[in-house]
Structure 1
């Protein structure tokens, strides 16, 4: 049974309005389902005129996969940036720690070297202050301490005499300061030295002097030449050890020299 007036067996194609409406529906469906935007191309091609943005209500066709990919790429970039920043911070911290450790080691080394140098200097000074020698080399004691006789006003010898020809070099027996240098009456040309331990040594009858009051002398330093000036029976060196600078404070000079390591 036929309906309407259309001829049987023949159908007319869709009208232009119908095709355009279908294209619009296709765009909306693609936007809703996430189908790749380029697939909507045929719908537009089927129409004589592509719908405007006002017609569709869409600014751009973006798929869910595109959006997800952009989000993941951005997340990856942020993660890589954070990792790079963390690695940089770690490297800087390690470099700073190494620099601090190197600085500390250098300071400790410098301190150890200073302390070693100070110890060496103290030891050297101790040796210098405690080094004593004989006043005349290759000599011997010709007159002992406290020997009696009329030659000495005190009635006994206040020092010891070392055999020495005139002009023999006379040495300071130890490090000290010259407190007297010049004519000493019965002692003739004499020198008195104060040593670091507070004791004094005296050298008499010399022909000439090589030092002056206030001079700092060391053990073995020449202080003059032997002779026979003052109350003397012939060339020799009169040597005294004293507790003070003046006459009358004499102590045993042989024991004094031996206590300082000098073989007499």
Structure 2
């Protein structure tokens, strides 16, 4: 058997209806003064609503405000630290860039200094003169007289040079003659860079060709006794032209170029 809720005038009043009626009755009594006379002083003075202090709202708001301030301070400190770190990174990067620039500049200066030194050393090497036979000495001087020479005097000097000794260019120049030279035997004539000429005679072999550039100290042949010669030695001449008869003092010539003879 199913139960159904009563409706209409037989339905019991709801809790809300009862509550509303109670409040209305209390208001009526207060108007007539009955409630005022019956209520105790304590009840009449009791407040109708709780204050924020009673509910704890002030404490909650204070805590929340303090926490918000702390979070804001932390955020500001973090921003400041981040900005400081970024500034340090920028400063470090700038310092590294400056150090790299200075290092590159120093390296460039060193390279340029090395290149200048190398060019200077090469210039000195090319301008340097030396003996035609290393460690040798003059055995027959310039313009020495005798029947051995068709002109009646020696047109050059003779350097001691055992057979097969290395003969080198006394300075930088270009070969203008290489091969047989009559009374000079196998010989080499070089036009020096200063415009003079040097001759190397009586060679056993020639190691350069006409038109070839030679550097100071470069081997041009081996000593011998070819041509009009009484034994192994090197005949050396200094000239103003490539032709015979333009000879100048070879010892004075070498000395003027810094060679000790």
Q: What TM-score do the two structures reach when normalised by structure 2? A: 0.68
Of 239, 249, 254 in structure 2, the residue corresponding to residue 252 of structure 1 is 249
2:259 aligned partner = 262
Distance in 1 (CA, whole Å) between partners of 2:100 and 2:160 is: 63
Distance in 1 (CA, whole Å) between partners of 2:202 and 2:211 is: 21
Q: Deviations over 1:152-177 (max 9, x none)?
A: 56665432223445434323223444
1:85 aligned partner = 82
2:177 aligned partner = 180
Is 2:48 aligned against 1:22? yes
Of 217, 222, 243 in structure 1, the residue corresponding to residue 219 of structure 2 is 222
Distance in 1 (CA, whole Å) between partners of 2:54 and 2:151 is: 134
Distance in 2 (CA, whole Å) between partners of 1:37 and 1:193 is: 120
Of 103, 106, 126 in structure 1, the residue corresponding to residue 100 of structure 2 is 103
Q: Classify the secondary structure of the residue corresponding to 2:48.
A: helix
The 1:99–1:202 alpha-carbon spacing in structure 2 relative to 1, beyond 3 Å, is: same
Distance in 2 (CA, whole Å) between partners of 1:5 and 1:162 is: 158
Instruction: Tell me by how many angstroms 1:239 deviates.
Output: 0.8
Distance in 2 (CA, whole Å) between partners of 1:206 and 1:238 is: 9
1:170 aligned partner = 167
Instruction: Tell me by how many angstroms 1:254 deviates.
Output: 0.5
Q: Classify the secondary structure of the residue corresponding to 1:22.
A: coil
Unaligned runs of 5+ in 1: 41-60
Instruction: Tell me by how many angstroms 1:70 deviates.
Output: 5.0
Q: What TM-score do the two structures reach when normalised by structure 1? A: 0.67
Unaligned runs of 5+ in 2: 1-31
Of 126, 130, 133 in structure 2, the residue corresponding to residue 129 of structure 1 is 126
Instruction: Tell me by how many angstroms 1:103 deviates.
Output: 0.2
Distance in 2 (CA, whole Å) between partners of 1:165 and 1:224 is: 13
Larger of the two Rg values belongs to structure: 2
Q: Equivalent residues in 2 for 1:156-167 (5 A)? A: 156-167=153-164
Tell which deviates more after alignment, 118-127 or 85-94.
118-127
Distance in 2 (CA, whole Å) between partners of 1:6 and 1:228 is: 161
Number of residue pairs matched?
230
Is 2:187 aligned against 1:190? yes
The 1:36–1:100 alpha-carbon spacing in structure 2 relative to 1, beyond 3 Å, is: farther
Tell which deviates more after alignment, 142-151 or 248-257.
142-151
Of 209, 214, 221 in structure 2, the residue corresponding to residue 212 of structure 1 is 209
Distance in 2 (CA, whole Å) between partners of 1:230 and 1:243 is: 23
Tell which deviates more after alignment, 159-168 or 107-116.
159-168
